[in-house]
Structure 1
Amino acid sequence: MTGYEDSTATITYDYSAYYNIDEDEVSAPCDLEYLRDFGKVFLPAVYSLVFILGFIGNGLVVWVLVKYRNQTNLTDICLFNLALSDLLFVLTLPFFSHYSKVRHWIFGDFMCRLTSGSHNTGFYCSTFFMVVMTIDRYIVIIHTYKLARYRTLRAGVILSVMVWMLSLGVSLPVFIFTHVNASDGSTCSYKPESDAWKHYNIFTANILGLIFPFLVMVVCYSRIIPVLMNIRSTKKHRVVKLIISVVVVFFIFWAPYNISLFLTLMKSKLPGNKCILEKTLRLSVTITEAFAYTHCCLNPIIYAFVGQKFMKRVLQLLRKCVPWIPMSHTTDLSDSSFKRSSAMSRSSEITSTFIK
């Protein structure tokens, strides 16, 4: 995600390429050479790993859902778009990996804008679809009979379009203000003229990327868990553990990065040696950013591969390509054993909302 320019210290921050450091931009002499060397090795390695794992995991989710599109429901539509947004996100990482390695942007101004904007759009879209899936689960479990009729495929398509448009709207300043440095043509960075736009991305990243989705998860799941604990299902404890994992993993992966971004905005007011503070914050953003990006590799596991039905579909498709892969004999959570009464059917519906 692209950053801002601190007018007090004239230091350009580019969070999608934070490894781009220039001592001339620092107000006081401060040796940052070791950060260059660290980023040159650390970021390409992490970005490459995230790209490979994220592409395989999310690509597999997209492949399975496309193959079984005739059985699509609202949950599948959200899951498809979540994987698609994560794919868009990881597809930008090879560009930033190369940029961090050679410290020179060679792909031109158009790709600079497109890559940075797509990176931001993929991030926000992924976050928003996690929010949508959380609210959808809340509706299914808490307001089933009142709102179930609105969970149609048409509603899913309309909702998906709205989420993508919102993500593009939030990321529009990145498309507009990110460009290649005209003087040397070697840097790709976010450099608006207005101070408001300079700080825009940090506030949107903190509010829309962390605080809002985290609050939605906490509020919705705190209502869902008591309902789950009262149903008659052998799967309820597994579902509760999954819910807790979703919330905790999201917070652990994204909170350190957003806190680091916020501290860079407030660094002029922080006590201590400015050079040491500068080094610490830059290193913190570099490490926490790379750590946060790995979250897109976990989304397929948390939202898709935990389901027996989904895994059965995966094995069926893989078996067509690799015949010797054994088929799973585990039963679906929608198995008839959960449908012996209306109460048990309700329990099956609730649990299958989380692990299909």
Structure 2
Amino acid sequence: MSEGNNTPYDYSSYYDEGADYPPTNFSDVKDFSQVFLTTLYSLVFALGFIGNGLVVYVVVKYRNQSNLTDICLFNLALSDLLFVFTLPFYSHYARVGQWTFGDFMCRLLSGSHQTGFFSSIFFMVVMTLDRYVIIVHAHRVTRYRTMRAAIILTMLIWMLSMFVSLPDFIFTQEIQEKSQKTRCYYLEESKVWERYNLFTTNVLGLVIPLLVMVGCYSRIIPTLVNMRTSKKHRIVKLIICIVVAFFLLWAPYNISRFLKFLQEKGKIPRNDTWDKNLRVSVVVTEAFAYTHCCLNPIIYAFVGQKFMRRALKLLKNFVPGIRNLPDSSFRRSSVISKSSEVTSTYIM
């Protein structure tokens, strides 16, 4: 875990009088990050676990009726669950200012955190491309959207995510500092992988997914507007929410990390005020970026009428208060031809 990779920053290093930056009193930054990160990580863990856990449960319960969209939704939820399971450990790390879980957990959690992050992004990209081909090239690709293709695609994405995250499994480890604090960090001779992580997180985690979303949805929206479906305006709003939420939550974090990198390389002047503001910016934008895993179930699942019907049917067996809730609110009107396929793809 380091200032250059996508796992939560090694905040303990911010408060040491190291040789990488002049002695500055960061006690106020430390106090802020301890409270802020502990609170946000705990909240993200709770909401992310509940939301994504429900998605996994619903898809597994109705696995006999699954299609490619359901498979991607299931794996997106698994990715987010893998991601949020690491947050309690990093919450403790930020709170006490040192790593206390040992070398094996350092490597495992760093790699798992990265794998969950990249697989979540990759499955969102796949869902975007799937919607694009279904709407814009429906007649050409329908026969290829089979369960076998979904399984193969899923395996490839998980393998790619683990491959991209491999340096975190290998090169992060528990390190004893001169200050007697234990950190989960890259070895000094492995610092090249910090740049690798900065590059992959910015390019594979933000730039390419954002370009794919903007490119695909800019073609999808005009096609939807010309379709005979009563739900086209709702679908367009959903598309806008997907792109805007992704950009607003992840872009500030990536920009803050890139500015921190430029500062370390001497491209940006260093002074106490700028240094403190940049460190606080990294802390805040990172925590809010991680809330995206809580929004994924809402954006991709709970807005879908098919999913909501299934979820409510299951919840009625466990939550007495919603047993009398009518199902008519979630009935989908039938739409013929291509519009029906588009509606079923978005309003799942």
TM norm structure 2: 0.94
8 Å contact kept, 1:2–1:201 = no
Match of 2:17 in 1: 23
Residues 35 and 137 from structure 1, CA distance in 2 versus in 1: closer, same or farther, beyond 3 angstroms?
Answer: same
Q: SS state of the match for residue 104, structure 1?
A: coil
Q: How many angstroms apart in 2 are the aligned matches of 1:106 and 1:255?
A: 31
- Give the counterpart of 2:201 among 177, 187, 205: 205
Match of 2:79 in 1: 85
Q: SS state of the match for residue 167, structure 2?
A: helix
Matches within 5 A, 1:258-269: 258-267=254-263, 268-269=265-266
Cα shift at 1:2: 4.6
Q: SS state of the match for residue 320, structure 1?
A: coil
Match of 1:332 in 2: 331
Matches within 5 A, 1:152-191: 152-183=146-177, 184=180, 186-191=182-187
Match of 1:353 in 2: 345
Cα shift at 1:324: 4.3
CA RMSD of aligned residues (A): 1.7
Q: SS state of the match for residue 187, structure 1?
A: strand
Cα shift at 1:273: 4.1
Cα shift at 1:331: 4.5
Q: SS state of the match for residue 201, structure 2?
A: helix
1:226 aligns with 2:214: no
Residues 18 and 282 from structure 1, CA distance in 2 versus in 1: closer, same or farther, beyond 3 angstroms?
Answer: farther
Amino acid at match of 2:337: S
Amino acid at match of 2:327: S
1:89-135 deviation line (CA, Å, top 9, x unaligned)? 00000001111111122111100111111011000000000000000
Q: How many angstroms apart in 1 are the aligned matches of 2:20 and 2:188?
A: 19
Match of 2:124 in 1: 130
Residues 76 and 14 from structure 1, CA distance in 2 versus in 1: closer, same or farther, beyond 3 angstroms?
Answer: closer
8 Å contact kept, 2:6–2:114 = no
Q: SS state of the match for residue 266, structure 1?
A: helix
Structure 1 residue runs of 5 or longer lacking an equivalent are 5-12, 339-343
8 Å contact kept, 1:191–1:198 = no
Residues 238 and 17 from structure 1, CA distance in 2 versus in 1: closer, same or farther, beyond 3 angstroms?
Answer: same
8 Å contact kept, 2:41–2:287 = yes
Match of 1:283 in 2: 280
8 Å contact kept, 1:113–1:178 = yes
Q: How many angstroms apart in 1 are the aligned matches of 2:79 and 2:59?
A: 14
8 Å contact kept, 1:192–1:198 = no
1:160-182 deviation line (CA, Å, top 9, x unaligned)? 11000100011000111111114
Cα shift at 1:328: 2.2
Cα shift at 1:49: 0.2
Cα shift at 1:292: 0.1
Cα shift at 1:148: 1.1
Matches within 5 A, 1:129-148: 129-148=123-142
8 Å contact kept, 2:308–2:330 = no
Q: SS state of the match for residue 228, structure 2?
A: coil
Q: How many angstroms apart in 2 are the aligned matches of 1:106 and 1:70?
A: 44
Match of 1:311 in 2: 308
1:301 aligns with 2:298: yes
Cα shift at 1:305: 0.3
Q: How many angstroms apart in 2 are the aligned matches of 1:221 and 1:278?
A: 39
Q: SS state of the match for residue 328, structure 2?
A: coil
Q: How many angstroms apart in 1 are the aligned matches of 2:45 and 2:321?
A: 28
Q: Name the stretch that deviates more: 175-184 or 187-196.
A: 187-196
1:48-107 deviation line (CA, Å, top 9, x unaligned)? 000000000000000000000000100000000000000000000000111111112211
Q: SS state of the match for residue 16, structure 1?
A: coil
1:215 aligns with 2:215: no
Provide the aligned length of Structure 1 versus Structure 2. Answer: 341
8 Å contact kept, 1:178–1:190 = yes
Q: Percent identity?
A: 59
Match of 2:247 in 1: 251
Match of 1:107 in 2: 101
8 Å contact kept, 2:76–2:124 = yes
Residues 115 and 189 from structure 1, CA distance in 2 versus in 1: closer, same or farther, beyond 3 angstroms?
Answer: same
Q: How many angstroms apart in 2 are the aligned matches of 1:170 and 1:127?
A: 12
Match of 1:8 in 2: none
Amino acid at match of 2:139: Y
